[in-house]
Structure 1
Amino acid sequence: MPAADFTAMAELRQSLIRKALRYAIFAADTTASAVTAPFDAGGVLQTLPAGYLPVGYTTTDGVTFSGDLSNSDVESGQSSSPTRSDVETDTATAAWVPQETNAAAVALYENLPLSGAGALPDLGTATWTWSRPKTPPTRYRRLVFIAEDLNKETGNAIYIVRHFPSALRTGREDEQWTRTAEISRGVTYQAYIDDDLGTDSQTWIDGPGWRDFAPPVTP
């Protein structure tokens, strides 16, 4: 076998280190259409379906995607390590802390509808009021997370889009009123399988900066 060129073999590429230079979170009720094609055939980011509301500014911690993974192991007397292991649970969650008092941030925190009866009206058009129900409803949402980065060489945009087509609030942080900080409403949402899409989470990476990585077409 020929001698290895470690630099070539390692394929270290700084241009593939991604950051969320800008990002945004959007939420909708499940009556809105799921996101199935966030880019067109040319890699251009498309507008979201009707019904998605922006969450607005968040704290500098951004969005944390995490979850829980557990395996079911089979142990045998002749082996010190498991002789079989199967995935038991594999859940996906997203957590963030909104800083704005807008319809999406309040609705996601208080478990209110984002549209239709019971939804908060437009800013400044009417008094906002809500009450905690005697029996809290199980209210699923559609969530979209969009991050924008730049291609280091060309400066063109690269987008990462993640969609939770069916997400449920599984945690919320304390709401604190103080003179020295904004009123924030941190939440955690867990993704669940959407029957139509057959997945609990879908991610796309595209954009003109992503297409710039394509090898040149030779005539």
Structure 2
Amino acid sequence: MPTATWDSLFDGRPELIRKMLFGSVFVKDYDPATSLATFSPFDATTGGLDATALGTGWTDLGYLDESGVEFTPTFTTADTMAWQLRLPGRTDVTADNESAKIVCLQSDPAVEALYYNKPLATAPTLGTSGYKITKDKTPNLIYRSALFIGVDGSGGSVQYAAKLYPMCLMTKPDKQSWQAKTENQFTMTLTPYWDSVAGFAIATWHDGPGWRAYATP
């Protein structure tokens, strides 16, 4: 019987350990007339970011705090037990989703529109005289599209990871503290929903010159 050592069997590749060193979060008001089914933030030829695709209606939320984006999955199941069994007879998925938590550091109209559930399209421009946001008597739920981009590496070895919520809601605005020691923060949780126009709830990509280099032995 042939024998082997652990060293000869182990196939770990340290170059596949990723860190999202930088990144951005882009948002726009959800438009059911514009399908994101074939949307991609990447140039099909080079694998780099597509400036045209990202410049069409998307707004960059700017600086986030050092925690970046925190994606939290929600996956629950229900077991069916039987008298004659001590293990589940069957298991069914009862919830399968995730949420994205961000902490915006910039106090600008786009961030505040997202935080206070106002349309991005009608947000005042930065520096507008008499700038004011009011809280409505009846809360509005405004659907958005959200795009998250993470960057690892640099130059010719740069790699990108991206995630798209074609239709989502800001479901949890967190507390704010006005004080001298801490910057004014806008902490929000975004929850994706099934988008019948795009045909999915979440899409994830990997691309970039560094990623494509793996295809070369």
**TM-score (normalised: structure 1):** 0.89
1:143 maps onto 2:146 in alignment:
yes
Deviation, 1:50, is 1.8
Query: For the structure 1 residues 128 and 88, does the alpha-carbon distance in structure 2 shift closer, same or farther, using more than 3 Å as the test?
Result: same
1:130 maps onto 2:133 in alignment:
yes
Equivalents in 2 of 1:89, 1:143: separation in Å? 21
Given that residues 69 and 100 in structure 2 are in contact (C-alpha distance below 8 angstroms), is that contact kept between their aligned partners in structure 1?
yes
Q: Which residue of 104, 108, 113 corresponds with 1:107?
A: 113
Q: Which residue of 86, 100, 123 corresponds with 1:120?
A: 123
Deviation, 1:155, is 5.2
Deviations 1:106-125 (A, max 9, x none): 1111111111xxx2222124
1:44 maps onto 2:45 in alignment:
no
Instruction: Specify the SS of the correspondent of 1:107.
Output: helix
1:54 maps onto 2:55 in alignment:
no
Q: Which residue matches 2:23?
A: 23
Q: Which residue of 79, 82, 91 corresponds with 2:97?
A: 91
- Aligned-partner residue type, residue 48 of structure 2: V
Equivalents in 1 of 2:5, 2:194: separation in Å? 45
Given that residues 73 and 84 in structure 1 are in contact (C-alpha distance below 8 angstroms), is that contact kept between their aligned partners in structure 2?
yes
Identity of aligned residues (%): 35
Q: Which residue matches 2:202?
A: 201
**TM-score (normalised: structure 2):** 0.90
Unaligned regions of 5+ residues in structure 1, if any? none
- Aligned-partner residue type, residue 50 of structure 1: T
Query: For the structure 1 residues 7 and 41, does the alpha-carbon distance in structure 2 shift closer, same or farther, using more than 3 Å as the test?
Result: farther
1:186 maps onto 2:187 in alignment:
yes
- Aligned-partner residue type, residue 95 of structure 1: K
Instruction: Specify the SS of the correspondent of 2:48.
Output: coil
Deviation, 1:33, is 5.7
Given that residues 142 and 166 in structure 1 are in contact (C-alpha distance below 8 angstroms), is that contact kept between their aligned partners in structure 2?
yes
Given that residues 59 and 98 in structure 1 are in contact (C-alpha distance below 8 angstroms), is that contact kept between their aligned partners in structure 2?
yes
Equivalents in 1 of 2:87, 2:60: separation in Å? 48
Deviation, 1:49, is 4.8
Q: Which residue matches 1:4?
A: 4
Instruction: Specify the SS of the correspondent of 1:27.
Output: strand
Unaligned regions of 5+ residues in structure 2, if any? none
Deviation, 1:126, is 3.2
Q: Which residue matches 1:70?
A: 76
Equivalents in 1 of 2:65, 2:208: separation in Å? 26
Given that residues 33 and 50 in structure 1 are in contact (C-alpha distance below 8 angstroms), is that contact kept between their aligned partners in structure 2?
no
Deviation, 1:147, is 0.4
Instruction: Specify the SS of the correspondent of 2:186.
Output: coil
Deviation, 1:196, is 1.5
Q: Which residue matches 1:210?
A: 211
Deviation, 1:209, is 0.6
